[in-house]
Amino acid sequence: MRFAIIGAGLAGLTAAYEIHKADPAAHIDVLEAGERIGGKLFTVPFSSGPTDIGAEAFLAARSDALEFFQELGLGDSLVAPSGAKSQFFAGGTLQEFPAGGVMGIPATPPAGAADAPFEWTPGSDISVGALVRQQYGDEIVDSVVSSLLGGVYSSTADDLGLRASVPALAAALDQLAEAGQPVTLSAAVKAVEAQRAATKKTAETRPVFQTFKGGYAELYEALAEQCGADIHLDCFVSAITKSGAGFAIKGGGEGIYDRVILAVPAPTAAVLLRDLTPAAGNHLKAIKLASSAVVGMHFDDATGLPENSGVLVAVGEPGITAKAFTFSSKKWPHIAERGGALIRASFGRLGDEKTARMDEDALVDAALDDLQTITGFDGRAAGLSEIYVQRWFGGLPAYGVDHIQTVAAARAEIAVIPGLEAIGAWAGGVGVPAVIADARAAVQRLLQLPTNS
């Protein structure tokens, strides 16, 4: 059986590994447009130690991901954060995030907000911003909620669908409506808090986030080494067509493939699907991407850096260009051991392409200026010894209103073509565990097909 996987990011490499595990005799070609593997996982060798300049952590609450990393032999590489908390910067001041609530949405409406009962159809969707503005007013959206969501999705609350980005809250609204109770935001947040408290009692305690001691390179290199695939770099795939019972690929690979997995961002998948299933491509075209830039900086002296894991910046904060800072050497004890301070500044949200395109010097200056304004830490005086600027054009898909239906509709069209799958951050969640789970599920679907289809 011959498999072609387009894209050597986390989704593509995971798929290759799973196929090889199930069928060591399978021929697997991974075709990657770039000159390196890993996609949005990228560990840069700073002289102080390996430094992640794309994803830098994963949600460790999911045991499936932890078991997967252990299976890859990476169990001893997993490390936990220090427990330092992040803060947010709004109205010109550094503030603590309110305790409790869901994604910064508190269970008690802010003073002056009525949170009147509203009509809610179970299963429907709304943007997080629209819902919270309507019930609690604008301030909390622009300060707390958008800064928290922006840290995960590079989008504001107004661009994110409730059902895809805060699913527990959407489910709580559904339950209130189905039970014939008054539907309010505060009642839904209280219901989610109660569910969490109940799960906490039974769940084993482990840190919410973890990472790899040597950076994400440990993961993508382990996958590449153990996936039994031929990985072809600088191989830009421009079209896929049906050829008899199999598939022909333009731009890379050789011969006809029995199975093809697209592991590329949604707009690229839309283009590559145009000959096979234009209808799926049309659905995927609706998924927007947010561009961002990350500036990684190492300083010789950490004196004066707050004892926090980082700062998220409110939307539209005057005079500030950055959207977030991660104080990696405060967040992760294994990085603190290296000495000095390691800080990541992040820029750019959905709809703002300009910031990610700023020239390198301007990005570094903005990172240092904003850091000093927000925390008082003078990076220029602290001995800036190493810098890495990485732009992530179209780095993250925006999980907008009705995203789940969009993905389901695209997948239904793709399912009509036996032997074809499309996976990646746009499909089952942007986080590393979600991308892995989605890739593994797609491989299981392919492996269940009769061999002659």
Ligand X SMILES: Cc1cc2nc3c(=O)[nH]c(=O)nc-3n(C[C@H](O)[C@H](O)[C@H](O)COP(=O)(O)OP(=O)(O)OC[C@H]3O[C@@H](n4cnc5c(N)ncnc54)[C@H](O)[C@@H]3O)c2cc1C
* Secondary structure class of 94 (helix, strand, coil): strand
CB of 431 to ligand X, least distance (A): 4
Please name the residue ranges forming H helices in 56-127: 63-71
Q: How many residues does the chain have?
A: 453
The correct pick among 101, 104, 150, 395 for binding ligand X (CB under 6 A) is: 395
* Cα Rg of the chain, angstroms: 23
Residue with structure tokens 């598939």?
247
**Counting contacts by CB under 6 A, is residue 430 touching ligand X?**
yes
Binding mask 32-71 for ligand X (x = CB under 6 A): xxx----xxx------------xxxxx-------------
Surface-to-core class of residue 225, CB atoms within 10 Å of its CB (0-12 exposed, 13-18 middle, 19+ buried): exposed
Options 4-12, 67-75, 314-322, 349-357: segment touching ligand X (CB under 6 A): 4-12
Contact residue for ligand X among 107, 345, 420, 435 (CB under 6 A) = 435
Among 209, 200, 203, which Cα is nearest to 82's? 209
Q: Taking the complex as a whole, how short is the minimal distance between the CB of residue 171 and ligand X, in angstroms?
A: 22
Query: What CA–CA distances, in Å, run from 96 to 99, 192, 350?
Result: 9, 21, 25
Tell me which DSSP letter residue 436 carries. H
Calpha distance 382→327 (Å, rounded): 14
Show contacts with ligand X in window 275-334 (CB under 6 A). 292, 294
Amino acid in position 287: I
316 vs 432: CA distance, rounded Å: 29
Instruction: Give the C-alpha separation, 416 to 418, whole Å.
Output: 6
**Near ligand X by CB under 6 A: residue from 265, 296, 379, 400:** 265
Output 81 or 109, the one with its CB closest to ligand X.
Answer: 81
- Shortest approach of ligand X to residue 54 CB, angstroms? 5
By CB under 6 A, name the one of 132, 229, 313, 425 that touches ligand X: 425
What mask of x and - would describe binding to ligand X in positions 9 to 28, judged by CB under 6 A? xxxx----------------
- Whole-number minimum distance, CB 278 to ligand X, in Å? 17
Q: Cα 25 to chain center, whole Å?
A: 33
Burial zone of 82 (CB within 10 Å; 0-12 exposed, 13-18 middle, 19+ buried): middle
Coil, helix or strand at residue 252: coil
Exactly one of 210, 268, 328, 406 binds ligand X (CB under 6 A); that residue is: 268
* Contact with ligand X (CB under 6 A) among 148, 162, 222, 264: 264
- The 341-380 contact track toward ligand X, x by CB under 6 A, reads ----------------------------------------
Cβ closer to ligand X: 105 or 430?
430
Do residues 33 and 299 touch, judged by C-beta distance below 8 A?
Answer: no
Widest CA span in the chain: 67
Tell which one of 159, 392, 401, 442 touches ligand X (CB under 6 A).
392
Q: Does 335 bind ligand X (CB under 6 A)?
A: no
Select from 4, 8, 15, 169 the one that contacts ligand X (CB under 6 A). Answer: 8
**Gap between the Cα atoms of 253 and 248, Å rounded:** 9
Compute the distance between CA of residue 388 and CA of residue 343 in angstroms, rounded to an integer: 11
State which of positions 199-238 bind ligand X (CB under 6 A): 236-237
176/425 with CB nearer ligand X: 425
Would you say 12 or 106 has its CB closer to ligand X?
12
Rounded to a whole number of angstroms, the minimum distance from the CB of residue 275 to ligand X is 14
Q: Contact region for ligand X (CB under 6 A) — 73-81, 96-104, 113-121, 258-266?
A: 258-266
The smaller minimum CB distance to ligand X, of residues 41 and 157, is found at 41
**Residue 116 beta carbon to ligand X: minimum distance, rounded to whole angstroms:** 37
- What count of other Cβ atoms lies within 10 Å of the Cβ of residue 372? 15
Integer angstrom CA distances of residue 249 from 46, 50, 176, 180: 38, 36, 50, 54
Task: Note the residues at the interface with ligand X (CB under 6 A).
Answer: 6-12, 31-34, 39-41, 54-58, 236-237, 263-265, 268, 292, 294, 392, 395-396, 424-425, 430-432, 435
